[in-house]
Structure 1
Amino acid sequence: MASPTKLRSIYRSFLRELPSRPLSEKSRSPLQTRIRNTIASESATPIEQAEQFLQYVKAQRMYATLLERYNPGMNMEEEERVRLTARRVGMELPEEFVNNGPGEESGNGPKDS
């Protein structure tokens, strides 16, 4: 069995990788509770397996960080992405023409009466 110091270190490393939450018993996520119970149990998984899972969690967090950094427009709408791409190369998109239907004036702005 691994030493309590080593288990505590691994548990704290897991907590650092998870999103932060306020400090209280009720605010623990189910994942935090499961990790704590697994590490605290007498029939705990081997320390090597816990360290390997910790490395996987760290790699997943880094992957998400890099994906957001190098693909900043992946969560944007298509129109916004096109507008920002045009601005990046020094262009502005033209204003769109709005047709209000037959017999009505067309244009973007409000009618001057």
Structure 2
Amino acid sequence: MASPQSVYRAVVRELNRAASISAPATRSKTIAENFRAIIESGSQNDAQRFDHDLANAVTFMRSQRMYKILLERYNPLHDMSTEERVKATARRVGLDMPVRENGDTDQ
């Protein structure tokens, strides 16, 4: 079983990696603070179960980070609006969307 220090370091590493994906303005500092408080208070009770729960949290954070990376890599249209998605799909097959004169979207 891993030592509490190594589990804590793994949590901090994953939090930093997850933080590096998002913009600094959108990062929540309370997540890191809450993990620190949980680790400080929880290690006295059932140490083996606590370490297992933290290892599961690290696995979850790593999986979420990889999911986001893979989603961006293999589905680049996922964060676009409907109109942007239609234009990108048309460009993918070699077409351009017609330019609208009046800006209507009902056509």
**What RMSD over aligned residues (CA atoms) do the two structures have, in Å?**
2.6
Question: Residue 46 of structure 1 aligns to a residue in which SS?
Answer: helix
Question: Partner residue of 2:78?
Answer: 74
Higher helix proportion, which one? 2
Spell out the pairing of 1:41-56 with structure 2 (5 A cutoff). Answer: 41=41, 42-43=44-45, 46-56=50-60
Distance in 1 of aligned mates of 2:32 and 2:51:
18
Does structure 1 retain, via aligned residues, the 8 Å contact 2:11–2:54? no
Task: Give the secondary structure class of the aligned counterpart of 2:86.
Answer: helix
By relative contact order (CA 8 Å, sep 6+), the higher-ranking structure is 2
How big is the shift at 1:94? Answer: 1.9
User: How many residues matched?
Assistant: 90
1:1-113 alignment, distance < 5 Å = 6-18=3-15, 19-20=19-20, 29-41=29-41, 42-43=44-45, 46-98=50-102
Q: What amino acid sits opposite 2:87 in the alignment?
A: R
TM-score, normalised by the number of residues in structure 1:
0.63
Between structure 1 and structure 2, the one with the greater Rg is: 1
Partner of 1:106: none
TM-score by length of 2: 0.66
3-state SS of 1:72 partner: coil
Structure 1: distance between partners of 2:98 and 2:53: 57
- Find the aligned partners of 1:76 and 1:46 in 2 and give their Cα distance: 40
**Unaligned regions of 5+ residues in structure 2, if any?**
21-27
Q: CA deviation at 1:33?
A: 1.5
Identity %: 38
Q: CA deviation at 1:97?
A: 3.1
